[in-house]
Chain A
Amino acid sequence: EVQLVESGGVLVQPGRSMKLSCAASGFTFSSFPMAWVRQAPTKGLEWVATISTSGGSTYYRDSVKGRFTISRDNAKSTLYLQMDSLRSEDTATYYCTTDDYYFDYWGQGVMVTVSS
């Protein structure tokens, strides 16, 4: 059974940093591109970033480019999202997903609240 378990969400002040993790199991993690998708409270879904199988290629939405870094450790079957210079508009539930041009498997999500 495919499982994606996010962790690291918490309340953080604007301008500070936070790192999310996603532990994967039940599939060959190194064979799948991975992504983060977020959902602000009562809002729709928004793609954030994608990373290739090797980690050699990364893609970001414009609003997080230069502030967020997606990475992976295939030996640990873990996906990461380093978030710097956080803003109130980054407040959302962040989902870890497989990314095969569409998002097949999703984690349960982790809430990130950016507020002073």
Chain B
Amino acid sequence: EIVLTQSPNTMAASPGEKVTITCRASSSVSYMYWYQQMSDASPKLWIYDTSKLASGVPDRFSGSGSGTSYSLTINTMEAEDAATYYCQQCCSTPRTFGGGTKLELK
């Protein structure tokens, strides 16, 4: 099973601040996927195929990485970005998710 380790577990950012969340895989993966989950809501696909933004996702978000190291970046933090973000690997069974990064507004 491929284990995905996200860091940090929690963080707080001020409006306008740049935010980076990392996801490290225990073995190399071809792509990484990211989900945003607001409190008491279902997860939403946020970034797919490592760097492509899902429909409706603001372009202040970006994704990058390869092999065992991937990241989600918010260029300038906004209040509506406060949520928990999960990474997920697609192609090794079982599909696995990272433990999540809770991003709060400072």
Interface residues of A (CB under 8 A from B): 35, 37, 44-47, 50, 59, 61-62, 95, 101-109
Contact = CB atoms under 8 A, between A and B. Distances in A.
11 contacts: A44-B86, A44-B97, A45-B35, A45-B88, A46-B97, A59-B94, A102-B45, A103-B88, A104-B45, A107-B42, A109-B42
Please tell me the size bucket of the interface on B.
20 to 34
Contacts of B42: 95, 106-109
Nearest to A45: B97
B87 to A, nearest CB: 10
| Contact residues of B: prevailing secondary structure | loop
A98 to B, nearest CB: 10
B48 A47 contact: no
A52 to B, nearest CB: 13
Interface of B: 33, 35, 42-45, 48, 54, 86, 88, 90-91, 93-100
Given A44-B100, A45-B86, A101-B90, 17 more contacts: A35-B95, A44-B86, A44-B97, A47-B95, A47-B97, A50-B95, A62-B94, A95-B42, A95-B43, A102-B45, A102-B90, A103-B88, A104-B45, A104-B48, A106-B44, A107-B42, A108-B42
Given A102-B88, A103-B88, A47 B44 contact: no
